[in-house]
Amino acid sequence: MRNFIATVSLLALAACGMSGQDNDAAETNIAATADSGSEYGYETYGDDNLADTMASNDAAYGKGDAMPGSADTIADPEDRPVMQAQVVLDRRGFGPGVIDGKMGLSTENALRGFQEANKLEITGKLDTKTRSALEQWRDIPATRVVTIPASWSTETFYEMPDSPADQAKMKRLGYTSLDEKLAERFHTTVDVLKQLNPGGVPAGMKGGASTTGPAKRATASATPTPAKSGAAQNAEDGFTPTPNNDSFFTAGRQIRVPNIGADRIAPGKVEKGDWQKTLASLGVGTEQAEVTRIVVSEKAGTLKAFDADDKLVAMFTVTTGSKNDPLPIGEWKILGVARNTPFAYNPELFWDVSDDEEKQMLPPGPNGPVGVVWIDLSKEHYGIHGTPEPETIGRTQSHGCVRLTNWDAARLSQMVSTDTQVIFEA
């Protein structure tokens, strides 16, 4: 997989709120040195997979579905057919959006993409023929049990200020709680994680404390032990950390999660630094298809990605604009990709924001206005990017740009290059 990275910062983006500056000194170094701690800024699975310790490492990589020492013997007490289908679709590149075990807009779109790619009748339903086509992945369970890395207890989380002026004072627009970080890692929501872990322990786990491998299982309790802030690794002057009791889950404990895969980070594929850590935090691997053409449909609210043989290899639900900032229909080019980039907030470029507000330079982070990725297009002021609110994709309007979940945006950013054709259609 080619790994092209353009150092793009302070991009010319009017509809989505970023304004251009010719200032080389302000450019983002997206191959920055990793944070202090391990060599990569986080605990890795192993030398052959630089994802975090919660990586799937399933049969696709020859290691079996469960991690060594994990609670693979804790059987899921529920049959979750829709979630299992969502997990498989997500692994195959047909993003169901937030994995929640429910049929919805994004899951139906993912099924349409899978059906088109496999020459099935396009129904958007989990019908008999589609179930049969998905049968080859029947051994992939809907959920798995992992241990939340103990290092997460040393992180400090901060509430997100409402005003851009206050956000600009922060060093990073990071996750607001351990719960939020955990949910994004497994392409789901905090509510779904709570449903999979009644009383704070994995569904199917018998009460009482025990150990499996190096980590202790959670003790059955209606009120799990709250997360601890630990060392102020990302301390923010003048900002108060999120209260400890805001986190339902706790570092070092076991938890049942959607069994997302395709999260292997191959050694040497990413410059050691912040982006590799971001991929690990999103459960996104480096082994992605190369695409020569992407097509965004305003009517369908989808982004399709085709390879050199014109085969549909990925499809994601997207938000494509609004009445005030419509999708610019036409054919465009990709000028570059910025990862973990700052955001130049200019109130004059938003129709729904007072021009009396001051311009601000917002720091990067998953909770920034464009999430973790900005794919710059030849259509001035427009791009494809992530979002701090994955559950809103396909359901709310944008300021003209194409918006995806952070994990889908991160995946797409590794598929495209400056040779990739971009088509926006009505």
Angstrom distance (rounded) from CA 134 to CA 276: 31
Mean predicted confidence (pLDDT) in 146-166: 91
Say whether pLDDT at 193 is over 50: yes
The answer to whether 197 and 386 are in contact (CB under 8 A) is: no
Residue 276 pLDDT grade (very low, low, confident, very high; cuts 50, 70, 90): very high
The HSE-up count of residue 365 (CA atoms within 13 Å, CB side) is 19
Query: Of the spans 40-54, 86-100, 314-328, 356-370, which averages the highest pLDDT?
Result: 86-100
Mean predicted confidence (pLDDT) in 222-234: 39
The answer to whether 126 and 299 are in contact (CB under 8 A) is: no
Residue 73 pLDDT grade (very low, low, confident, very high; cuts 50, 70, 90): low
Say whether pLDDT at 390 is over 90: yes
- Is the C-alpha dihedral spanning 340, 425, 90, 77 positive or negative? positive
Q: In sequence order, what are the residues at sequence separation of 6 or more whose Cβ sits closer than 8 angstroms to the Cβ of residue 191?
A: none
DSSP 187: T
pLDDT in the model for residue 400: 59
- pLDDT tens across 296-317, in order? 999 999 999 999 999 999 999 9
Mean predicted confidence (pLDDT) in 285-300: 96
CA nearest 156: which of 92, 237, 82? 237
Say whether pLDDT at 230 is over 80: no
pLDDT in the model for residue 352: 54
CA 7 to chain centre: 21
Q: In sequence order, what are the residues at sequence separation of 6 or more whose Cβ sits closer than 8 angstroms to the Cβ of residue 362?
A: 164, 167, 168, 173, 342, 343, 344, 345, 368, 369
Mean predicted confidence (pLDDT) in 348-377: 81
Say whether pLDDT at 29 is over 50: no
Q: Percent helix, strand and coil across the chain, each rounded to 5? A: 25, 15, 60
Mean predicted confidence (pLDDT) in 368-375: 94
Q: How much of the chain exceeds pLDDT 90, in percent?
A: 63
pLDDT in the model for residue 12: 38
Angstrom distance (rounded) from CA 273 to CA 320: 31
Query: Of the spans 7-16, 26-35, 252-261, which averages the highest pLDDT?
Result: 252-261
Residue 381 pLDDT grade (very low, low, confident, very high; cuts 50, 70, 90): confident
The per-residue b/e assignment along 57-87, b for 16 or more CB within 10 angstroms, e otherwise, is: bbeebebebbbeebbbebebeeebebbbbbb
pLDDT in the model for residue 162: 87
Give the containing element (helix H, strand E) for 16.
none
Query: Of the spans 38-47, 126-135, 214-223, which averages the highest pLDDT?
Result: 126-135
Higher-scoring residue by pLDDT: 217, 377: 377
pLDDT in the model for residue 69: 39
- pLDDT tens across 100-133, in order? 999 999 999 999 999 999 999 999 999 999 999 9
Angstrom distance (rounded) from CA 325 to CA 248: 39
Least confident of 21-35, 42-56, 141-155: 21-35
pLDDT in the model for residue 358: 80
pLDDT in the model for residue 240: 65
pTM score of the predicted model: 0.83
pLDDT in the model for residue 247: 83
Angstrom distance (rounded) from CA 378 to CA 422: 9
Mean pLDDT score of the chain, rounded to an integer? Answer: 81
Angstrom distance (rounded) from CA 405 to CA 97: 7
Angstrom distance (rounded) from CA 124 to CA 120: 10
Residue 60 pLDDT grade (very low, low, confident, very high; cuts 50, 70, 90): very low
- pLDDT tens across 315-359, in order? 999 999 767 778 999 999 999 999 998 988 776 655 555 557 788
Say whether pLDDT at 134 is over 70: yes
pLDDT in the model for residue 271: 80
If you count DSSP H runs as helices and E runs as strands, how many of each does the chain have, helices first? Answer: 8, 16
CA nearest 316: which of 184, 415, 173, 382? 415
pLDDT in the model for residue 207: 67
Mean predicted confidence (pLDDT) in 190-208: 91
